[in-house]
Amino acid sequence: MDDAAINGIKDVGSISYKALNMARSLVKPGAKLIDVAEKLEGYLREQGYGCAFPLNLSINSEAAHYTPTLGDTKEFSEQDVVKVDFGAAKDGMLGDCAFTIDLSGEYGKLVESTDLALEAAISKVRAGAEVREIGRAIAEVIGSHGFKPIRNLGGHGVGKHDLHAEIFIPNFDNGDTTTLQEGQVIAIEPFATTSNGKGVVNDSDTFEIYGFIEAMPVRSQNARSVLAEIATKYPSEPFAVRWLSNVIPSKFGLYAAIRELLVAGAIESYPMLVEAAGGIVSQSEKELLVTKDACEILTK
């Protein structure tokens, strides 16, 4: 990675962290999820950035990939454990960071376990480190607090226009001896669940985030109009259905067009992920630049 690319990823990481931290004052009982999403996404656009992905606001047993629907009326409650996951995009450089807000006051130790696991994982990052070492550190910290790591979620490489690139970083020792390389950009994201959880997530039947694959022939004018908008504005990074309401304001018409595009193979879906046994989930994530002997935190 040359100096220009390093400066670009540092810039995107910094603004990602600023946007993420805005959620600390916005996520509160009675606040609408869609208001928080529009505030944070709008902030990035006002600053001259795009979104690496729609703001994720996943609650309780939801681990990832919930973003508000078009016209969403859902509000945060006093019983919610909220995962806030977000990142900026500019010139193909992508940010990715997350934390958990416990509105219930009952899951502080669970949240702490992922925060401390992230710290332990970061301490292991260096050129030549095996990803299994990082996963072992994560699992040991989470387990020592009486919780379970989510075994089928983990960290990942971050490339240009590629949020999940090159490498998978497990949340337990999975035996993978793949090593980190100097100059590599990665995101480490421990997920933990309560003792009654299964420690794995499943796909749900909720779909609000999609990604463009390629232009395909579709029958309806609505689908063609939506596809043209996606190909123009969101050709590389995932998008939320609600971002397309300027094309089709009708919720029914818009979601019908999305279904047509999905069936045609023009787009792919990212289903909301839910803990298999209904356990409460927490998450913590930072983006890092791997150096020879350690790493540099980009989302700070």
Catalytic residues: 85, 96, 156, 164, 189, 285
CB neighbour class for 3 (10 Å; exposed up to 12, middle 13-18, buried from 19): exposed
Q: In what order do the strands lie in the sheet with 239-240?
A: 62-64, 267-275, 201-212, 239-240
Helix 221-233 and helix 251-264: axis angle, to 10°?
80
Neighbours of 106 (CB within 10 A): 11
Query: How many other CB atoms are there within 10 angstroms of residue 226's CB atom?
Result: 25
Strand residues in the chain grouped as ranges (E): 50-51, 56-59, 62-64, 81-86, 88-90, 93-94, 97-102, 148-149, 154-159, 162-170, 185-188, 191-193, 201-212, 239-240, 267-275, 281-283, 286-290, 295-297
Contacts 24+ apart (CB under 8 A), 175-178: 175/132, 176/130, 176/131, 176/132, 176/135, 177/130, 177/131, 177/132, 178/130, 178/131
Place of tokens 């606040």: 31
Which tokens belong to 290? 């791997």
CA distance 100 to 284: 7
